[in-house]
Chains A and B, each alone.
Chain A
Amino acid sequence: MLEIIVRGLAPYVGGNMARAAVEGHAHKLGLRGSELDPSGVDALLDTLSPGLHVFIGREKTVQIVAEIRATIAAARGRR
């Protein structure tokens, strides 16, 4: 799941920043491991979003986060 979030953010903030931001925020939230439950994903995306607003605005952030959620839902559905 973390990898999907990183891949969703990378085109905008770059691969290194996406990974550092996702892992840093996950660590702060006490989320461990690459597999997150739905509440963990929500918490992580909610924490990342305000920071993303600064760089790309709320409208675009909402769109990116929605795409990430859709990708995660699709990945869960395949299992």
Chain B
Amino acid sequence: MRRIDRLLVALAALAYAVFLPKVFWPEAGLYAHLLGELVLNAFGASAKLLGLLAGAVYATRSALHLERGNPARLAWFFLGGWLGCFFAGQVVLSTYALALGRSAPLPSVGDAFFLLGYAMAIVAAVLFIRAYVSSGFPIGTVRGHAASAALAAALFAAAGYALLAPVARSETPFAERAINVAYPVLDFVTLIPSLIMIRITLHFRGGRVWTVWAGLLVSLVFMAAGDILFAYVTSIGLKPLEPLVDLLFVVGYLCAGWGTIQQLRLETT
């Protein structure tokens, strides 16, 4: 493994080691003396920013490395734009947490970047599907993928209603509730084309194309879980689960960075 891969994997392992025990033993001496709020925030912010920055840079480099006219080129640009917007949003959140010593308001300027990032992620996923279907490789029929998308949309609508109704009915201010519902909904929308990508890329199991998408798709699942849990933590008061939210986002962003690194390496080495 190269140095950057090792760093991302080590940070993901460290995130598990510091955030997960806090869910079960929040009063442990370790968290009172050594790993206080500020230390955990600094670690979490650094790991998230590194994963997102790596993802934005490597996805953009992957796009630039592809020749003009390649159907996947624009998709990689949008994927880089998605992670770049999330990086900017995370910079805003981290500035509040580390420099101003408080949580960012909901909504904040950071949310504008995150929402723009989601739009880019959805466009990227659709462009990837179009590009991969155009490759002529046997990755399933358009009809089959459309049926999967329709089924996923119906399941996500049902699951989304069940999961988000308590958040929408919570006592928090309207703007906060709207943001808390919007992110998981956008996650579900992003997951629909992503599920198609999972179906497509499963055909590439055992190859390096698969490792790229394994990283990116695991990342999306972790981000969606993080958004849903965040909505519960802030709306319904599940504060003890807050470290789990950080863990999901940290690992999700690191996986995104890892996946894009594999893509550039696939194109160049």
A residues lining the B interface (CB < 8 Å): 10-18, 20-21, 24-25, 47, 50-60
Tally of A-B residue pairs with Cβ under 8 A?
80
What are 5 A-to-B residue pairs whose CB atoms are below 8 Å? A25-B136, A55-B137, A55-B204, A57-B65, A57-B66
Report Cα–Cα, A51/B139, bound state, in Å: 11
- Chain B residues lying within 8 Å of A21, measured Cβ to Cβ, are 137-138
- Chain B residues lying within 8 Å of A17, measured Cβ to Cβ, are 137-138, 203-204, 207
B residues lining the A interface (CB < 8 Å): 65-67, 70-72, 131-132, 134-138, 203-210, 266-268
Report Cα–Cα, A17/B213, bound state, in Å: 15
Say yes or no: A15 contacts B206, CB within 8 Å: yes
Report Cα–Cα, A25/B138, bound state, in Å: 10
Say yes or no: A54 contacts B207, CB within 8 Å: no
Other contacts beyond A11-B207, A58-B70: 9, CB < 8 A: A12-B207, A16-B205, A25-B136, A54-B72, A55-B72, A55-B137, A56-B208, A57-B267, A60-B267
Say yes or no: A55 contacts B65, CB within 8 Å: no
Pick from A10, A20, A58: contact of B207, CB below 8 A.
Answer: A10
Most buried by B among A10, A13, A16, A60: A13
Closest to A18 in B: B207
Report Cα–Cα, A51/B66, bound state, in Å: 13
For the complex of A and B, list the 4 residue pairs with the smallest distance between their C-beta atoms, beginning with the closest: A14-B207, A14-B206, A51-B135, A54-B135
Most buried by B among A12, A25, A54: A54
Say yes or no: B205 contacts A54, CB within 8 Å: no
Closest to B266 in A: A56
